[in-house]
Amino acid sequence: MAEKKFTVLDLLDLELSGHDALNLKCIAGRRGLPRAITVPEINRPGLALSGFYEVFSSNRVQLLGRGENAYLQKLHKEKKSDSLRTFFQQEMPCCVFTYNLEPTEEFRQIAEENCCPLLQTDLTSNEFSKRIIRVFSNQFAPHQTLHGVLVEVYGIGILLNGHSGVGKSETALELVERGHRLVADDIIEVRCVNGNTLLGRGANTMISHHMEIRGLGIINISQLYGVGAIRDQKEVQLIVQLEDWDSGKAYDRLGTEQKYMELLGVKVPVIEIPVRPGRNLPIIIEAAAMNERLKNMGYNSAKEFNQNVLKWIETGDAVSSYTGNDDSY
C-alpha cells in the first residue's frame, strides 16, 4: 500500500501547541489544500518575484515576510501582474505570509485562479522558519512500525518487546500503577529524528492510550489513572525483550556485555528478561531504567564490580583468603 502523502491540509490540521504551534490559517486558495508537500524545506521567493527563475525551488513551501510583501505592494501600484502570473505557474505547494501580513487583492485573485493555497500566521519569519523545520523534521523522518508497549520509567523511554501473550501489557499496567507513564500499547510507530534520535508514539492516536488486558478487555489509561499517567511520545532509549524462561539458555548474570538492536540505523541497548512465575517484572524494569540512567551519566555498575574483583585478585588477597590459617569463620 502506498504511503499517505503529507499535504497542505495535513499541515493545517496538525495539533501543535506552545513553542511548536504554527498558528496557520488559510486565507485563499482552498481548492489547493490537497496539494502534497514533498520537500521538507522552505524558500524565500524574493528573486522569483522579480523574474529570476533559473534556480527557483518551486517544490518547497514559499515563505513571504515583510520584504516580499513590500515588493508585492510595489508591483500592485505599478500594475505589473505578469510577474505574479508567472510566479503562480510554478506549481508550488503553498505560500505563507508571516506577521499576519495581508496579500494584495491581485495576489489573492491569481492564487485562487491557480488553486494555490495562501496561508497566514502571526509569527515572525524567523520563528516560523524554525518551527516549521522542526515539524518537517518529524513528519518526513524515516519511520518503522513495531509490536510492543512503550512506557516511560524514571524518564527513560522503554520499549517492551516479546511474543504475544508473554505479559507486555500486564507489566506496563503495573508500571502505570506504580506511577510511571504509558506512551502507547500494541502498535508503536518509531521515527528517526535528526539521524540519531528515535521517537516512539502510537501508530493510531485514537487508541494509543488504551490497553487490552486479557480477561478484562479494553481499558482507557488516561481515564483510569489521569492525564499524568500518559504522554504522547517519548524517545526510545532501552528495549526490554520479554521471553519465556528457558532452563537450557545461559542468561546474562553480570551485565558486562551490552547487546544492541538496530532500528532505522540507530543502535538501542537491549536487555533480555526471562518471564517466570514469581519474578516481579515491574521492579526489574524499574531497576533496569535506573541502571540505564547511571550508564548515561558515565557509571557502569557491572564494569566497576568486574574491575574491583580483578584488583582484589591482583593484590593477592583472594589467594590468602583461601590459603591462610584464619579459620575464624
CA atoms within 13 A on the CB side of 53: 13
Phi, psi of 50 (to 5 degrees): -85, -5
Side by side, the strands of the sheet bearing 118-120 are: 25-28, 118-120, 95-97, 61-64, 42-43
Q: Which residues contact 57 (CB under 8 A, 6 or more apart)?
A: 39, 41, 43
* Rounded-to-integer distance, Cα 153 and Cα 286, Å: 7
Is 147 noted as a catalytic residue in this protein?
yes
Q: Which of 281, 283, 280, 288 is nearest to 255 (CA)?
A: 288
Catalytic-role residue among 131, 168, 209, 210: 168
Catalytic-role residue among 4, 77, 79, 253: 253
Q: Cα separations (Å) of 133 from 90, 126, 174, 194?
A: 22, 11, 38, 11
* Rounded-to-integer distance, Cα 94 and Cα 118, Å: 6
* Rounded-to-integer distance, Cα 72 and Cα 75, Å: 5
Catalytic-role residue among 74, 80, 130, 147: 147
Q: Which of 162, 141, 136, 148 is nearest to 264 (CA)?
A: 141
* Rounded-to-integer distance, Cα 246 and Cα 281, Å: 16
Catalytic-role residue among 180, 185, 186, 191: 186
Phi, psi of 286 (to 5 degrees): -60, -45
User: What is the DSSP annotation of 151-212?
Assistant: EEETTEEEEEE-STTSSHHHHHHHHHHTT-EEEEEEEEEEEEETTTEEEEEESSTTTTTEEE
Is 168 noted as a catalytic residue in this protein?
yes
Backbone Cα Rg of the chain: 28
**Residue 81 burial (10 A CB sphere; 0-12, 13-18, 19+):** middle
Q: Which residues are catalytic?
A: 147, 168, 186, 253
